[in-house]
Amino acid sequence: MLAARPIPNKAARVEEEGGRVVIYVKKAPGRRGRRVWRRIMPTRDERRFTLDPLGADCWRLCDGQRTVEEIVDRFAERHGLSFHESRVAVTGYLKQLIQRAILAIALATEGE
Amino acid sequence: MNPARERPRPTATRLWIWRSLRLELPADWEMLQFTRRPERGRCAFADRYGFRLEFTWRNVPGPPDFERMMNDYAAQLRARKMPDVRRASAAKWPGVRGVEDGVETSRFGYYFDAESCIVEAVFLWRTEREPALERAVLKSIAEEPAGPDDARRWRAFGMDLFAPPGAGLEETRILPGEADLVFADPQGRSRLRARRIGLVDRWLTGDLGAWLRQARRRGRAQRERVWTDRGHTVFHIEGQGPDPGWRRLARGPTWWTSDAWRCPGDGRVYVRDEDLQRRRRPVESANPFGRRMVCAGCGALAP
Ligand SMILES: [Zn+2]
Protein backbone atom coordinates (compact mmCIF):
# COMPACT_ATOMS: atom_id res chain seq x y z
CA MET A 1 0.00 0.00 0.00
CA LEU A 2 2.83 2.44 0.83
CA ALA A 3 4.27 2.13 -2.67
CA ALA A 4 0.89 2.79 -4.36
CA ARG A 5 0.24 6.12 -6.02
CA PRO A 6 -3.07 7.97 -5.59
CA ILE A 7 -4.18 9.51 -8.90
CA PRO A 8 -6.68 12.38 -8.78
CA ASN A 9 -9.78 12.11 -10.96
CA LYS A 10 -9.18 14.64 -13.76
CA ALA A 11 -12.92 15.20 -14.13
CA ALA A 12 -13.21 16.40 -10.52
CA ARG A 13 -13.83 20.12 -10.08
CA VAL A 14 -12.29 21.73 -6.99
CA GLU A 15 -13.45 24.93 -5.32
CA GLU A 16 -12.33 26.68 -2.14
CA GLU A 17 -15.31 27.82 -0.06
CA GLY A 18 -14.56 29.72 3.13
CA GLY A 19 -11.33 27.90 3.90
CA ARG A 20 -12.80 24.51 3.02
CA VAL A 21 -12.16 22.53 -0.11
CA VAL A 22 -15.22 21.37 -1.99
CA ILE A 23 -14.86 18.76 -4.71
CA TYR A 24 -17.51 18.12 -7.34
CA VAL A 25 -17.50 14.81 -9.19
CA LYS A 26 -19.77 13.81 -12.08
CA LYS A 27 -22.35 11.20 -11.14
CA ALA A 28 -22.31 7.88 -12.97
CA PRO A 29 -25.03 7.73 -15.73
CA GLY A 30 -27.07 5.23 -13.70
CA ARG A 31 -29.87 2.87 -14.78
CA ARG A 32 -32.21 3.68 -17.59
CA GLY A 33 -35.21 4.30 -15.35
CA ARG A 34 -33.25 6.87 -13.36
CA ARG A 35 -32.12 8.60 -16.56
CA VAL A 36 -35.73 8.93 -17.68
CA TRP A 37 -36.75 10.23 -14.25
CA ARG A 38 -33.94 12.81 -14.39
CA ARG A 39 -35.28 14.07 -17.70
CA ILE A 40 -38.60 14.68 -16.01
CA MET A 41 -37.15 15.98 -12.72
CA PRO A 42 -33.73 17.52 -13.42
CA THR A 43 -31.17 17.19 -10.57
CA ARG A 44 -27.52 18.13 -10.32
CA ASP A 45 -25.38 15.68 -12.23
CA GLU A 46 -22.51 16.27 -9.82
CA ARG A 47 -21.86 14.99 -6.36
CA ARG A 48 -20.46 17.47 -3.83
CA PHE A 49 -17.90 16.46 -1.23
CA THR A 50 -16.51 18.83 1.40
CA LEU A 51 -13.12 18.24 2.98
CA ASP A 52 -12.03 19.57 6.37
CA PRO A 53 -8.71 21.46 6.38
CA LEU A 54 -6.65 18.32 7.10
CA GLY A 55 -8.49 16.35 4.41
CA ALA A 56 -7.92 19.22 2.00
CA ASP A 57 -4.22 19.16 2.76
CA CYS A 58 -4.12 15.42 2.13
CA TRP A 59 -5.95 15.91 -1.17
CA ARG A 60 -3.46 18.61 -2.25
CA LEU A 61 -0.60 16.20 -1.60
CA CYS A 62 -2.11 13.69 -4.03
CA ASP A 63 -0.51 15.03 -7.20
CA GLY A 64 -0.42 11.72 -9.07
CA GLN A 65 3.36 11.53 -8.60
CA ARG A 66 3.77 10.98 -4.88
CA THR A 67 3.40 7.52 -3.40
CA VAL A 68 1.29 6.92 -0.31
CA GLU A 69 4.51 6.70 1.71
CA GLU A 70 5.66 10.10 0.47
CA ILE A 71 2.25 11.63 1.21
CA VAL A 72 2.31 10.16 4.72
CA ASP A 73 5.80 11.59 5.28
CA ARG A 74 4.84 15.07 4.02
CA PHE A 75 1.63 15.08 6.04
CA ALA A 76 3.55 14.00 9.18
CA GLU A 77 6.10 16.76 8.66
CA ARG A 78 3.50 19.47 8.11
CA HIS A 79 1.35 18.57 11.09
CA GLY A 80 3.98 17.40 13.57
CA LEU A 81 2.76 13.79 13.61
CA SER A 82 4.67 10.52 13.86
CA PHE A 83 4.76 8.27 10.80
CA HIS A 84 2.01 5.95 12.05
CA GLU A 85 -0.21 8.79 13.30
CA SER A 86 0.08 10.35 9.87
CA ARG A 87 -0.50 6.98 8.16
CA VAL A 88 -3.78 6.43 10.06
CA ALA A 89 -5.01 9.96 9.21
CA VAL A 90 -3.90 9.85 5.55
CA THR A 91 -5.26 6.38 4.82
CA GLY A 92 -8.59 7.43 6.38
CA TYR A 93 -8.83 10.41 4.02
CA LEU A 94 -7.64 8.39 1.01
CA LYS A 95 -10.30 5.76 1.68
CA GLN A 96 -13.03 8.43 1.64
CA LEU A 97 -11.66 10.01 -1.53
CA ILE A 98 -11.42 6.65 -3.31
CA GLN A 99 -14.96 5.65 -2.27
CA ARG A 100 -16.23 8.89 -3.81
CA ALA A 101 -14.25 8.32 -7.02
CA ILE A 102 -12.20 11.47 -6.45
CA LEU A 103 -9.02 9.42 -6.37
CA ALA A 104 -7.92 6.18 -7.99
CA ILE A 105 -5.00 4.09 -6.80
CA ALA A 106 -2.20 2.97 -9.10
CA LEU A 107 -0.61 -0.06 -7.48
CA ALA A 108 3.17 -0.37 -7.59
CA THR A 109 4.60 -2.85 -10.04
CA GLU A 110 7.18 -5.42 -8.92
CA GLY A 111 10.57 -3.82 -8.23
CA GLU A 112 9.08 -0.38 -7.73
CA MET B 1 7.16 -2.83 -0.34
CA ASN B 2 10.31 -4.24 -1.87
CA PRO B 3 12.76 -4.60 1.08
CA ALA B 4 15.61 -3.29 -1.08
CA ARG B 5 13.77 0.04 -1.35
CA GLU B 6 13.13 0.44 2.36
CA ARG B 7 14.68 3.42 4.09
CA PRO B 8 17.65 2.82 6.37
CA ARG B 9 16.81 2.65 10.04
CA PRO B 10 17.78 5.69 12.15
CA THR B 11 20.63 5.13 14.60
CA ALA B 12 18.80 6.94 17.44
CA THR B 13 16.90 4.88 19.96
CA ARG B 14 13.85 5.58 22.10
CA LEU B 15 13.15 4.38 25.62
CA TRP B 16 9.75 2.85 26.41
CA ILE B 17 8.53 1.94 29.90
CA TRP B 18 5.37 -0.11 30.10
CA ARG B 19 4.17 -2.10 33.09
CA SER B 20 7.44 -1.31 34.93
CA LEU B 21 9.48 -2.93 32.15
CA ARG B 22 11.83 -0.78 30.14
CA LEU B 23 13.15 -1.38 26.66
CA GLU B 24 15.12 0.71 24.21
CA LEU B 25 14.13 0.42 20.56
CA PRO B 26 15.06 2.06 17.26
CA ALA B 27 13.51 5.54 17.25
CA ASP B 28 11.21 4.77 14.32
CA TRP B 29 9.54 1.77 15.99
CA GLU B 30 6.15 2.85 17.30
CA MET B 31 3.84 1.00 19.65
CA LEU B 32 0.78 0.05 17.60
CA GLN B 33 -0.81 -2.53 19.86
CA PHE B 34 -0.84 -2.86 23.64
CA THR B 35 -2.72 -4.33 26.55
CA ARG B 36 -3.11 -2.74 29.98
CA ARG B 37 -3.31 -5.80 32.23
CA PRO B 38 -0.26 -6.18 34.45
CA GLU B 39 -0.65 -9.96 35.00
CA ARG B 40 -0.51 -10.93 31.37
CA GLY B 41 -0.25 -8.82 28.25
CA ARG B 42 1.44 -7.80 25.07
CA CYS B 43 2.79 -4.80 23.20
CA ALA B 44 3.68 -4.80 19.51
CA PHE B 45 6.01 -2.34 17.82
CA ALA B 46 6.24 -1.57 14.12
CA ASP B 47 8.43 0.48 11.86
CA ARG B 48 6.87 2.11 8.81
CA TYR B 49 6.80 -1.16 6.87
CA GLY B 50 5.43 -3.60 9.41
CA PHE B 51 5.64 -5.22 12.82
CA ARG B 52 9.16 -5.73 14.16
CA LEU B 53 8.80 -6.74 17.79
CA GLU B 54 6.22 -8.40 19.99
CA PHE B 55 6.78 -8.03 23.69
CA THR B 56 4.73 -10.19 26.04
CA TRP B 57 4.69 -10.66 29.81
CA ARG B 58 3.10 -13.16 32.11
CA ASN B 59 3.19 -13.30 35.91
CA VAL B 60 4.42 -16.63 37.27
CA PRO B 61 4.95 -17.82 40.84
CA GLY B 62 8.68 -18.49 40.40
CA PRO B 63 11.53 -18.80 37.88
CA PRO B 64 10.71 -21.27 35.10
CA ASP B 65 13.01 -23.94 33.66
CA PHE B 66 13.88 -22.02 30.51
CA GLU B 67 16.02 -24.79 29.07
CA ARG B 68 13.07 -27.18 29.11
CA MET B 69 10.62 -24.50 28.00
CA MET B 70 12.67 -23.61 24.94
CA ASN B 71 13.28 -27.25 24.00
CA ASP B 72 9.54 -27.97 24.29
CA TYR B 73 8.82 -24.90 22.27
CA ALA B 74 11.28 -25.84 19.52
CA ALA B 75 9.73 -29.33 19.39
CA GLN B 76 6.25 -27.79 19.07
CA LEU B 77 7.40 -25.60 16.21
CA ARG B 78 9.01 -28.57 14.46
CA ALA B 79 5.77 -30.50 14.83
CA ARG B 80 4.04 -27.58 13.06
CA LYS B 81 6.21 -28.40 10.02
CA MET B 82 8.93 -25.84 10.68
CA PRO B 83 11.95 -28.11 10.27
CA ASP B 84 14.61 -25.40 10.44
CA VAL B 85 13.90 -24.36 14.06
CA ARG B 86 17.18 -23.81 15.92
CA ARG B 87 18.05 -22.97 19.49
CA ALA B 88 19.55 -19.52 19.93
CA SER B 89 20.65 -17.19 22.69
CA ALA B 90 21.52 -13.51 22.89
CA ALA B 91 22.46 -11.23 25.81
CA LYS B 92 21.74 -14.08 28.31
CA TRP B 93 18.26 -14.61 26.87
CA PRO B 94 17.65 -18.20 25.74
CA GLY B 95 15.60 -18.57 22.60
CA VAL B 96 14.74 -20.29 19.35
CA ARG B 97 14.71 -19.09 15.78
CA GLY B 98 13.23 -20.26 12.54
CA VAL B 99 10.79 -19.34 9.83
CA GLU B 100 7.19 -18.86 11.01
CA ASP B 101 4.46 -18.08 8.47
CA GLY B 102 7.12 -17.21 5.92
CA VAL B 103 8.89 -14.69 8.17
CA GLU B 104 12.21 -15.30 9.87
CA THR B 105 11.46 -15.04 13.57
CA SER B 106 13.55 -15.17 16.72
CA ARG B 107 11.95 -15.67 20.12
CA PHE B 108 13.69 -15.11 23.43
CA GLY B 109 12.51 -15.43 27.01
CA TYR B 110 13.70 -14.14 30.38
CA TYR B 111 12.45 -14.23 33.94
CA PHE B 112 12.37 -10.98 35.92
CA ASP B 113 12.59 -11.57 39.60
CA ALA B 114 11.25 -8.35 41.15
CA GLU B 115 8.23 -8.31 38.85
CA SER B 116 7.80 -12.14 39.03
CA CYS B 117 7.15 -12.34 35.34
CA ILE B 118 8.35 -14.07 32.23
CA VAL B 119 9.00 -11.73 29.37
CA GLU B 120 9.09 -12.96 25.81
CA ALA B 121 10.55 -10.84 22.99
CA VAL B 122 9.74 -11.95 19.45
CA PHE B 123 11.61 -10.29 16.59
CA LEU B 124 10.11 -10.43 13.11
CA TRP B 125 12.82 -10.16 10.46
CA ARG B 126 11.13 -9.02 7.30
CA THR B 127 14.60 -8.16 5.99
CA GLU B 128 17.81 -9.92 6.94
CA ARG B 129 18.15 -10.84 10.62
CA GLU B 130 20.33 -8.40 12.60
CA PRO B 131 21.96 -10.16 15.54
CA ALA B 132 23.52 -6.90 16.84
CA LEU B 133 20.13 -5.19 17.01
CA GLU B 134 18.62 -8.28 18.64
CA ARG B 135 21.33 -8.22 21.33
CA ALA B 136 21.04 -4.46 21.91
CA VAL B 137 17.26 -4.63 22.38
CA LEU B 138 17.43 -7.65 24.69
CA LYS B 139 20.18 -6.02 26.76
CA SER B 140 18.02 -2.93 27.23
CA ILE B 141 15.03 -4.84 28.64
CA ALA B 142 14.97 -4.43 32.41
CA GLU B 143 12.71 -3.80 35.37
CA GLU B 144 12.14 -0.12 36.08
CA PRO B 145 12.54 0.64 39.79
CA ALA B 146 9.65 2.42 41.50
CA GLY B 147 9.90 6.19 41.87
CA PRO B 148 9.07 8.48 44.79
CA ASP B 149 6.32 7.09 47.12
CA ASP B 150 6.49 3.79 45.25
CA ALA B 151 5.03 5.45 42.13
CA ARG B 152 5.28 3.49 38.89
CA ARG B 153 6.97 5.15 35.94
CA TRP B 154 5.49 4.95 32.44
CA ARG B 155 7.13 6.26 29.31
CA ALA B 156 5.07 5.93 26.14
CA PHE B 157 3.43 8.00 23.41
CA GLY B 158 5.81 10.90 24.03
CA MET B 159 5.11 11.18 27.77
CA ASP B 160 7.30 10.23 30.71
CA LEU B 161 5.31 10.17 33.95
CA PHE B 162 4.83 8.74 37.40
CA ALA B 163 1.41 7.19 37.99
CA PRO B 164 -0.04 7.67 41.50
CA PRO B 165 1.08 4.92 43.90
CA GLY B 166 -0.99 1.77 43.43
CA ALA B 167 -2.65 3.11 40.28
CA GLY B 168 -2.87 0.96 37.17
CA LEU B 169 -3.51 1.98 33.60
CA GLU B 170 -7.32 2.06 33.41
CA GLU B 171 -8.21 3.74 30.12
CA THR B 172 -6.41 4.66 26.93
CA ARG B 173 -7.32 6.60 23.84
CA ILE B 174 -4.75 6.75 21.07
CA LEU B 175 -5.63 8.67 17.92
CA PRO B 176 -3.55 10.53 15.33
CA GLY B 177 -2.25 13.53 17.26
CA GLU B 178 -3.79 12.51 20.57
CA ALA B 179 -2.66 10.18 23.33
CA ASP B 180 -4.77 9.99 26.47
CA LEU B 181 -3.84 7.69 29.37
CA VAL B 182 -5.85 7.37 32.58
CA PHE B 183 -4.39 5.77 35.70
CA ALA B 184 -6.49 4.97 38.76
CA ASP B 185 -6.11 2.99 41.95
CA PRO B 186 -8.64 0.22 42.68
CA GLN B 187 -10.11 2.10 45.69
CA GLY B 188 -10.88 5.13 43.55
CA ARG B 189 -8.79 7.48 45.73
CA SER B 190 -6.39 8.66 43.04
CA ARG B 191 -6.78 9.29 39.36
CA LEU B 192 -4.30 10.69 36.89
CA ARG B 193 -5.08 11.64 33.33
CA ALA B 194 -2.06 12.33 31.11
CA ARG B 195 -2.54 13.71 27.65
CA ARG B 196 -0.33 14.69 24.75
CA ILE B 197 -2.31 16.57 22.12
CA GLY B 198 -1.07 17.52 18.68
CA LEU B 199 -2.52 19.53 15.78
CA VAL B 200 -2.66 22.37 18.31
CA ASP B 201 -3.39 25.20 15.89
CA ARG B 202 -6.60 23.38 14.90
CA TRP B 203 -8.18 23.44 18.37
CA LEU B 204 -6.40 26.00 20.53
CA THR B 205 -7.44 29.46 19.47
CA GLY B 206 -6.45 31.47 22.56
CA ASP B 207 -4.28 31.24 25.60
CA LEU B 208 -3.40 27.80 27.00
CA GLY B 209 -3.92 28.99 30.59
CA ALA B 210 -7.46 30.13 29.76
CA TRP B 211 -8.15 26.82 28.01
CA LEU B 212 -6.98 24.86 31.08
CA ARG B 213 -9.07 27.02 33.41
CA GLN B 214 -12.15 26.49 31.31
CA ALA B 215 -11.55 22.74 30.96
CA ARG B 216 -10.74 22.00 34.58
CA ARG B 217 -12.02 24.67 36.92
CA ARG B 218 -14.55 23.32 39.42
CA GLY B 219 -15.26 23.16 43.14
CA ARG B 220 -13.56 25.70 45.36
CA ALA B 221 -10.24 26.93 46.77
CA GLN B 222 -8.67 27.51 43.43
CA ARG B 223 -5.13 28.64 43.02
CA GLU B 224 -3.26 29.34 39.83
CA ARG B 225 0.41 29.67 39.04
CA VAL B 226 2.55 29.98 35.95
CA TRP B 227 6.25 29.22 35.71
CA THR B 228 8.84 28.41 33.11
CA ASP B 229 11.02 25.34 33.13
CA ARG B 230 13.53 24.42 30.42
CA GLY B 231 11.74 26.65 27.94
CA HIS B 232 8.27 25.29 28.84
CA THR B 233 5.69 27.72 30.22
CA VAL B 234 3.63 25.64 32.62
CA PHE B 235 0.10 26.67 33.61
CA HIS B 236 -0.96 25.22 36.92
CA ILE B 237 -4.40 25.26 38.49
CA GLU B 238 -5.56 23.50 41.63
CA GLY B 239 -8.64 23.29 43.79
CA GLN B 240 -10.85 21.13 45.97
CA GLY B 241 -14.07 19.22 45.31
CA PRO B 242 -16.93 19.32 44.64
CA ASP B 243 -17.61 16.11 46.56
CA PRO B 244 -20.85 14.48 47.67
CA GLY B 245 -21.16 14.89 51.45
CA TRP B 246 -20.97 11.17 52.27
CA ARG B 247 -17.76 10.72 50.28
CA ARG B 248 -16.16 13.77 51.81
CA LEU B 249 -16.96 12.42 55.27
CA ALA B 250 -15.63 8.96 54.52
CA ARG B 251 -12.53 9.80 52.58
CA GLY B 252 -11.86 13.50 52.78
CA PRO B 253 -12.15 15.98 49.94
CA THR B 254 -10.86 15.59 46.37
CA TRP B 255 -7.76 17.68 45.81
CA TRP B 256 -7.30 18.28 42.16
CA THR B 257 -4.42 19.77 40.21
CA SER B 258 -3.84 20.34 36.52
CA ASP B 259 -0.73 21.33 34.64
CA ALA B 260 -0.56 22.16 30.95
CA TRP B 261 2.25 23.33 28.75
CA ARG B 262 3.10 23.52 25.10
CA CYS B 263 6.41 21.87 24.32
CA PRO B 264 8.71 24.12 22.29
CA GLY B 265 10.35 20.96 20.90
CA ASP B 266 7.41 19.14 19.30
CA GLY B 267 4.74 21.88 19.49
CA ARG B 268 2.27 19.60 21.27
CA VAL B 269 0.25 20.38 24.37
CA TYR B 270 0.82 18.19 27.43
CA VAL B 271 -1.82 18.06 30.13
CA ARG B 272 -1.59 16.36 33.49
CA ASP B 273 -4.77 16.19 35.60
CA GLU B 274 -4.65 14.55 38.99
CA ASP B 275 -7.43 13.93 41.53
CA LEU B 276 -6.50 12.72 44.99
CA GLN B 277 -8.92 11.95 47.80
CA ARG B 278 -7.18 12.78 51.06
CA ARG B 279 -8.09 14.23 54.43
CA ARG B 280 -5.10 16.55 54.24
CA ARG B 281 -3.84 18.66 51.41
CA PRO B 282 -1.30 16.54 49.45
CA VAL B 283 2.28 17.73 49.71
CA GLU B 284 2.74 20.05 46.82
CA SER B 285 5.78 19.49 44.69
CA ALA B 286 7.63 22.75 44.13
CA ASN B 287 7.64 22.24 40.41
CA PRO B 288 5.51 19.45 38.96
CA PHE B 289 7.10 19.71 35.53
CA GLY B 290 10.10 17.48 35.59
CA ARG B 291 9.04 15.74 38.80
CA ARG B 292 5.83 13.92 37.87
CA MET B 293 5.59 14.23 34.10
CA VAL B 294 7.77 15.55 31.28
CA CYS B 295 7.71 15.46 27.52
CA ALA B 296 9.73 12.38 26.59
CA GLY B 297 11.49 14.31 23.85
CA CYS B 298 12.77 16.92 26.33
CA GLY B 299 13.94 14.92 29.26
CA ALA B 300 13.54 11.93 31.50
CA LEU B 301 12.18 11.50 34.98
CA ALA B 302 14.73 10.50 37.57
CA PRO B 303 13.86 6.98 38.72
ZN1 LIG C 1 9.11 19.51 25.82
Q: Which residue segments constitute the domains of chain A, with CATH numbers given?
A: 5-106 (1.10.10)
Which pLDDT score, from 0 to 100, does residue B303 have? 57
Alpha-helix residue ranges (DSSP H) falling in A49-82 = 53-61, 68-79
What is the torsion angle, in degrees rounded to the nearest 10, for the CA atoms of residue B261, residue B264, residue B267 and residue B269?
-10
Q: CB–CB of B30 and A83 under 8 A?
A: yes
Q: What is the pLDDT of residues B157-179, one digit of tens each?
A: 999 999 988 899 999 999 999 99
The rounded radius of gyration (Å) of the Cα atoms in chain A is: 16
Contact A64, A26 (CB under 8 A): no
Query: Is A19's Cβ below 8 Å from some Cβ in B?
Result: no
Name chain B contacts of A110, Cβ cutoff 8 Å: 2
Q: What is the pLDDT of residues A44-86, one digit of tens each?
A: 678 888 999 999 999 999 999 999 999 999 999 999 999 999 9
Cα dihedral B37, B38, B41, B46 sign: positive
* Least confident interval from B40-49, B136-145, B205-214, B249-258: B249-258
Query: Is A77's Cβ below 8 Å from some Cβ in B?
Result: no
Element spanning B251, H or E: helix B245-251
**Mutation site, B6, B199, B203, B270, interface A, largest A CB count within 10 A:** B199
* Least confident interval from B39-43, B49-53, B82-86: B82-86
Q: CB–CB of A83 and B48 under 8 A?
A: yes
Highest mean pLDDT among A10-24, B3-17, B55-69, B166-180: B166-180
Beta-strand runs (E) in chain B: 13-18, 21-26, 30-34, 40-47, 50-59, 86-90, 93-100, 103-112, 117-125, 142-143, 153-156, 159-162, 168-175, 178-184, 190-197, 220-229, 232-240, 254-262, 269-277, 293-295
Highest mean pLDDT among A69-83, B3-17, B185-199, B211-225: A69-83
Which pLDDT score, from 0 to 100, does residue B139 have? 97
- Bin B45: left if φ > 0, else alpha if -120 < ψ < 50, else beta: beta
Instruction: Say how many CB pairs under 8 Å bridge A and B.
Output: 46
Q: How far apart are CA B36 and CA B19, in angstroms?
A: 8
Q: How far apart are CA B144 and CA B257, in angstroms?
A: 26
Amino acid identity, residue B170?
E
Q: How far apart are CA B223 and CA B208, in angstroms?
A: 16
Query: Is A87's Cβ below 8 Å from some Cβ in B?
Result: yes
Partner residue facing B176 (CB), from A53, A89, A111: A89
Which pLDDT score, from 0 to 100, does residue B169 have? 97
Centroid of ligand 1 to alpha carbon of B294 (angstroms): 7
Distance from CA of B72 to the nearest CA of A (A): 37
Tell which B residues from 274 to 293 touch A, by Cβ distance under 8 Å: none
Which pLDDT score, from 0 to 100, does residue B183 have? 97
Domains of chain B (ranges, CATH numbers) = 3-143 (3.40.1000), 148-295 (3.40.1000.10)
Residue B109 has pLDDT above 90, yes or no: yes
Element spanning A50, H or E: strand A46-51
Q: How far apart are CA B277 and CA B284, in angstroms?
A: 14
Query: Is A71's Cβ below 8 Å from some Cβ in B?
Result: no
Task: Quote the pTM value.
Answer: 0.89
Terminal CA-CA length for chain A: 12
Question: Average pLDDT, whole number, for chain B?
Answer: 88
Q: Which residues pair with B143 in a beta bridge?
A: B21
Residue B287: pLDDT band with limits 50, 70, 90: low
Q: CB–CB of B199 and A54 under 8 A?
A: yes
ipTM of predicted assembly, 2 dp: 0.89
Report in angstroms the alpha-carbon separations of B268 from A8, A79, B160. 32, 10, 14
